[in-house]
Amino acid sequence: MAVKLRMTRMGRRHRPFFRINAVDSRTPRDGRILEKIGHYDPIEKDKEKQIVLDVERAQYWMDKGAIPSETVSEILVKHGITDKHAIARKARRERALKIARKKGKAFTSAEKKAASGESEKK
């Protein structure tokens, strides 16, 4: 069974709240979870209460081979848990950026907007 660490949206309309869960990779976003390991409240003012994470359980699932989503891996890095998948993802992005710059292509959305704005002016 492939396990992922990802977020489940909770809360109500215009008041999001996310749980950080260990889930089977084949389940839908809000489907059955294996274990709740924390939560993230983006509207909370107090930074201490904004992200609550059980670091030991997160590390346990990472040791078992769980792959975190991009957002969850950023949260894990903030809590001091190194993620080999995030490091590899960052290296791939930097490599693709370097290749795009070498070919003279726009890579980021800001570069694409700037390039399309220049072509419309001509």
| 77 and 87 inside one domain | no
**CATH number reported for the structural domain that contains residue 16 in this entry:** 3.30.1320.10
Q: Is this model's pTM higher than 0.85 or not? A: no
- Summarised one tens digit per residue, pLDDT across range 19-65 is 999 999 998 888 899 999 999 999 999 988 899 999 999 999 999 98
Distance in angstroms (rounded) separating the CA atoms of residues 44 and 108: 30
How many distinct structural domains can be found in the chain? 2
Containing domain of residue 31, as a range? Answer: 1-81
| 71 and 88 inside one domain | no
- The DSSP code for 107 is -
Three-state DSSP state, 1: coil
| 13 and 66 inside one domain | yes
Residues near 76 by Cβ (< 8 Å), separated by ≥ 6?
A: 5, 53, 58, 62, 68, 83, 86
| 42 and 102 inside one domain | no
- Summarised one tens digit per residue, pLDDT across range 71-86 is 998 888 888 887 777 7
* Half-sphere exposure at residue 99, Cβ-oriented, CA atoms within 13 angstroms: 6
pLDDT score at 115: 75
Q: How confident is the model at residue 98 (pLDDT cuts 50, 70, 90)?
A: confident
